A and B are shown apart, each in its own frame.
Chain A
Amino acid sequence: MRHVTAQPEPAEAKPLTEPVLLILLSLAGKPRHGYALIKDTELLSDGRVRLSTGTLYGAIHRLLDDGWIERFEQEDTSREKQAYRLAPAGRKRLQLELDRMKQLTRAASARLRTREV
């Protein structure tokens, strides 16, 4: 007996915050440690977003708790240089967010086109 729900979970329906979206996007490429994440999110946002360490590690804590990212063990790094990678649940959530954004972009473009006519 397994319950299947058609509605998405409330947490999945909620749009991601910009720092979280950028962190997930950054980790979608390859595992990264904290400093590399700050640099890459800055690059991804075209220099618009620079995460402070407080914001970054607050988000990392939440993402680890939710199982969206996981610690990535590297042989040659110390505990201070811990790397993180995207977990399957995080990849799925990122895909959902991108689909939501695509849908919103399509709707917005269609609305703008009708206004121009």
Chain B
Amino acid sequence: MKKAYVALLHLYPSSHRALFAPEMSLVFERAAEEHRGRGRLAFLRFAVAEFLGILFGAGREWFVTCTRPSAREQALRAAAEQSGLPYEVVRAQQQTDLCVKHMVNAIASHDFTKARFFSEAERRSRENLRALRQKYNIAE
């Protein structure tokens, strides 16, 4: 029974397995021991619930793993939390900074077409930032 359970744990993403597989096996073993003493039907019900729990749990973990925000978004969210500013504002601020950085680089390499492009992008980004600051009532 435990072997089947441990084999089913391989359905989980490796990140979840690395964190919880030993604990899960141990808890399953203790719970199985307890239910074995309650009769065949109770044990069967327990086993079905456990295996279904693994199937649904693994499915959910894969869904979360596949839809998790990117590292950049996580960093932006952390920055927003730290500064106390709304996420949208922090994202717009970073977008503006990036445009400025690209514009400066383009000017430094005498690529004025690119510089004009980023200058225009920066203007739009700054307008967006201004609108967001107004929306959230944040001073410049």
Contact = CB atoms under 8 A, between A and B. Distances in A.
A80 B54 contact: no
Majority secondary structure, A binding face: helix
B23 A34 contact: yes
Contact of B31 (A35, A62, A80, A82): A35
B61 A34 contact: no
Given A34-B23, A60-B20, A53 B138 contact: no
Contacts of A81: 23, 26
Contact of B85 (A3, A53, A55, A56): A3
A57 B138 contact: no
Majority secondary structure, B binding face: helix
B50 A53 contact: yes
Q: How large is the interface on A (under 10, 10 to 19, 20 to 34, 35 or more residues)?
A: 20 to 34
B44 interface: no
A113 interface: no
Given A52-B49, A54-B57, A61-B61, A38 B31 contact: yes
B61 A52 contact: no
A65 B24 CA distance: 18
Contacts of B60: 58
Contacts of B138: 1, 3
Given A3-B89, A81-B23, 8 more contacts: A3-B86, A5-B86, A35-B31, A53-B24, A54-B53, A54-B54, A54-B57, A80-B22
Interface of B: 16, 19-20, 22-28, 30-31, 49-50, 52-58, 60-61, 64, 84-86, 89, 136-139
Interface of A: 1-5, 33-35, 38, 50, 52-58, 60-62, 79-82
